[in-house]
């Protein structure tokens, strides 16, 4: 639920499905902690971290494109 609070506009059901997909594709690792109530933690795998370069490049491109289109 902590993750859901930091992401606007996504339902808990959709977030859960996206996390399952990311785990199935080895981008995140899910860890269930024996707490009361049960706590679930997610962390990027090394494979997931390798996408940082791609995400940064897309972000940079998006900022340049926005300046061209919007003029901000």
Specify whether the CB–CB gap between 29 and 45 falls below 8 A: yes
The helix or strand, by DSSP H or E, that contains position 68, with its residue range, turns out to be: helix 52-70
Specify the CATH architecture of the domain 2-70: Orthogonal Bundle (1.10)
How far from the centroid of its chain's Cα atoms is residue 15's Cα?
9
pLDDT score of 2:
82
Domain coordinates of the chain in residue numbers?
Answer: 2-70
The reported pTM is 0.74
Structure confidence by residue, pLDDT tens digits, 11-70: 989 999 999 999 999 999 999 999 999 999 999 999 999 999 999 999 999 999 998 898
Phi, psi torsion values for 9, nearest 5 degrees: 80, 20
């Amino acid at each position: 639920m902590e993750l859901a609070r930091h992401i606007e506009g996504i339902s808990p059901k959709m977030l859960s499905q996206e996390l399952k997909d990311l785990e199935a594709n080895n981008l995140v690792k899910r860890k269930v902690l024996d707490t009361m109530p049960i706590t679930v933690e997610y962390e990027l795998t090394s494979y997931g971290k390798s996408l940082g370069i791609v995400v940064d490049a897309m972000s940079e491109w998006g900022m340049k494109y926005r300046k061209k289109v919007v003029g901000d």
